[in-house]
């Protein structure tokens, strides 16, 4: 088996704001396996400043993987616990190599185009007028669940945007999720949650920065608004530590980004723990190209979670790879009649 890797820079169509800054570019890496005339493709999607494996030796580890590909998927996965995005790329590449079609990893009614995945429409941070424009567009596009990034602009402006939505649409018509990306202060978080709860929101992701388990546990106990852990899961690779986090914090929801938590296997570990404690969850992409998004979507469909998932990021880039993925009326479809164009 031959293994190589290629770096690829994805360019945003429009600068996209989060509480950690504005994104204009996103780097990703493709692991390419070749054996007996077949090709396997895996995406190692790193998010700078957020991924556990945002390290100076990242490319060195990719080289090591290519040089040691003979160890096989299971052994490599264990050796890569400090590099969750590479774990994901390795899993994807081996699954792709085994498949009849390198992009058909989990055959299902989804890949046959017979069933779709409900998704939320993502509204990025920005000036109030731009955020309002996005909200209107998502609703016109048929989304019944929208997710707003908050925490970077004035809180009163964000409250007014939520007031605007609720004036036009009830919670039965539009489900609203908000994502603070850890932007709230410890002292002010609960008051903000109380104000946000007035707008019949579904949930808030990561109100305060990760790593403050006791603070988050207190918030989850007192909150009038369901809390979803997102960044909190990053960097926790030991199964006992994962169990300890959920036992202490007792969140209402968990959000899984396979690129950030060890791919399919890492996600399944979290799902098993969540279900044992009756914690609900959903899956979100982490700004991968269509290659990674395709793998995550196919995997997600097999889990049969009826909640809207966070898989609507395929249209963010000017130079994404044409793929059979299509968003229509708040659902992600796999249109098998459309062709892939994966040219690096």
339 found inside a domain: no
**Stated pTM of the model:** 0.95
106 found inside a domain: no
Residues 65 and 141 in one domain: no
Per-residue pLDDT tens digits for 146-175: 999 888 778 999 999 999 899 989 999 999
Query: Do 202 and 176 contact (CB within 8 A), yes or no?
Result: yes
Residues 94 and 157 in one domain: no
Tally of domains within the chain: 2
**Would you state the pLDDT for residue 153?**
79
Tell me the chain's radius of gyration from C-alpha atoms.
20
Residues 81 and 121 in one domain: no
Residues 75 and 122 in one domain: no
Residues of the chain with pLDDT under 70: 17-20
Residues 22 and 140 in one domain: no
Per-residue pLDDT tens digits for 259-270: 999 999 999 999
Query: Do 202 and 252 contact (CB within 8 A), yes or no?
Result: no
143 found inside a domain: yes
147 found inside a domain: yes
Residue 73 structural domain: 2-98
Positions annotated as catalytic residues are: 149, 257
The CATH number given to whatever domain includes residue 80 is 3.30.390.10
317 found inside a domain: yes
């Amino acid at each position: 088996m031959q293994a190589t890797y290629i770096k690829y820079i994805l360019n945003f169509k429009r600068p996209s704001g989060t509480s950690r800054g504005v994104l204009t570019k996103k780097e990703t890496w493709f692991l390419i396996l070749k054996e007996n005339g077949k090709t396997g493709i895996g995406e190692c999607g790193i998010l700078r400043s957020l991924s556990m494996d945002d390290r100076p030796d990242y490319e060195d580890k990719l080289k090591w993987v290519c040089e040691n590909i003979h160890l096989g998927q299971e052994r490599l996965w264990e050796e890569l616990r400090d590099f969750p995005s590479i774990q994901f790329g390795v899993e994807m590449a081996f699954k792709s190599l085994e498949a009849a079609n390198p992009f058909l990893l989990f055959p299902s009614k989804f890949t046959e185009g017979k069933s779709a995945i409900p998704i939320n429409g993502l509204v990025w941070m920005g000036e109030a007028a731009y955020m309002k424009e996005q909200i209107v567009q998502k609703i016109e596009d048929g989304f019944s669940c929208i997710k707003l990034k908050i925490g970077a602009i004035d809180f009163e402006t964000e409250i007014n945007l939520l007031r605007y939505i609720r004036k036009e649409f009830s919670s039965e018509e539009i489900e609203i999720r908000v994502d603070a990306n850890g932007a709230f202060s410890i002292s002010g978080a609960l008051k903000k949650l109380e104000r946000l709860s007035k707008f019949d929101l579904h949930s808030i992701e990561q109100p305060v920065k990760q790593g403050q388990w006791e603070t988050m546990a207190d918030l989850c106990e007192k909150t009038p608004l369901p809390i979803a852990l997102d960044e909190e899961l990053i960097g926790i690779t030991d199964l006992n530590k994962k169990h300890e986090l959920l036992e202490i914090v007792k969140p209402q929801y968990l959000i899984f980004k396979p690129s950030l938590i060890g791919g399919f296997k890492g996600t399944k570990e979290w799902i098993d723990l969540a279900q044992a404690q009756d914690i609900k969850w959903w899956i979100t992409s982490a700004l991968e190209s269509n290659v990674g998004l395709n793998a995550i979507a196919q995997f997600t469909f097999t889990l049969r979670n009826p909640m809207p998932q966070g898989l609507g990021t395929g249209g963010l880039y000017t130079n994404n790879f044409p793929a059979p993925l299509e968003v229509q009326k708040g659902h992600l479809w796999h249109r098998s009649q459309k062709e892939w164009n994966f040219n690096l």
